[in-house]
Amino acid sequence: PIIFFFVALAVLRLKGHVAGAITLILSILIAIFAFKMPIDMAFAAAGYGFIYGLWPIAWIIVAAVFLYKLTVASGQFDIIRSSVISITDDQRLQVLLIGFSFGALLEGAAGFGAPVAITGALLVGLGFKPLYAAGLCLIANTAPVAFGALGVPILVAGQVTGIDPFHIGAMAGRQLPFLSVLVPFWLVAMMDGWKGVKETWPAALVAGGSFAVTQFFTSNYIGPELPDITSALVSIVSLALFLKVWRPKNTET
């Protein structure tokens, strides 16, 4: 079913809701006829999945999109853009600040594609090409995506497996920090190669290092709901303060 869903979207070019409905029917048929799942249990599982998709997943997305539309309509979106430019006009550092740090905050609060859409729009407003901005934001999202919106992926994994979500989140928090440190360097390397990494490595280290350390401690001592939010906030503040006292030798605009 998962493979069919990707094929339906990417190859057959079906609408999302159509592809989802067909995939649901296919999943129910496979569960009943291939795995001999009782019919009532198959439909009950499908109904539970549908309800869980509406709450909390769909509700989180609606709230995120509403907040984004509100900032645009009120003019706050332009203020955010101006604030970022006042911190740095170097596009490599803007990607770290918006795509990585701020994107992680949105991932922790909204998730489900909203961070890429919102941060991508911010980068386009700063002069990035749309496809280029989306690609960078997708890569940046690899650091916080495991915990998702308020820890939903970890909580669901706990419900499915019967394992305490706290333990799952703690284990993820011991593995992910290594990736979180590398992602900012990866973003800069994609934008400006090894030259860019040499020029901006202090900022990349501050962004990734502060994120990774906070991610570890939050996931291991607080729980799976907040690692993305706390890590992103610490990363944003750390990077913004660092950029007040440090600038790369060459600015990439």
DSSP readout, 106-165?
HHHHT-TTHHHHHHHHHHHHTT--HHHHHHHHHHHTTTTTTTTGGGHHHHHHHHHH-S-H
Region for residue 61 given its phi and psi (left: phi exceeds 0; alpha: psi -120 to 50; beta: otherwise) = alpha
- The answer to whether residue 128 sits within a structural domain is yes
CA–chain centroid gap for 25, Å, is 29
Which residue's structure tokens are 């490599």? 92
- The answer to whether residue 209 sits within a structural domain is yes
What is the rounded CA–CA span in Å between residue 100 and residue 105?
Answer: 9
What is the rounded CA–CA span in Å between residue 63 and residue 52?
Answer: 16
Please give the structure tokens belonging to residue 183: 């992602």
- The answer to whether residue 14 sits within a structural domain is no
Three-state DSSP class for 248?
A: coil
Number of domains in the chain: 1
Range of the domain at 139: 61-245
**pTM above threshold 0.85:** no
pLDDT of the chain, 253 residues: tens digit per residue: 989 998 998 888 898 889 999 999 999 999 999 999 999 999 999 998 888 777 766 776 676 677 778 877 888 777 877 887 788 888 999 999 999 999 999 898 877 777 888 888 888 888 888 888 888 988 999 889 899 888 889 998 998 899 999 999 999 999 999 999 999 999 999 998 889 999 999 999 999 999 999 999 999 999 999 999 999 999 999 999 999 999 988 877 6
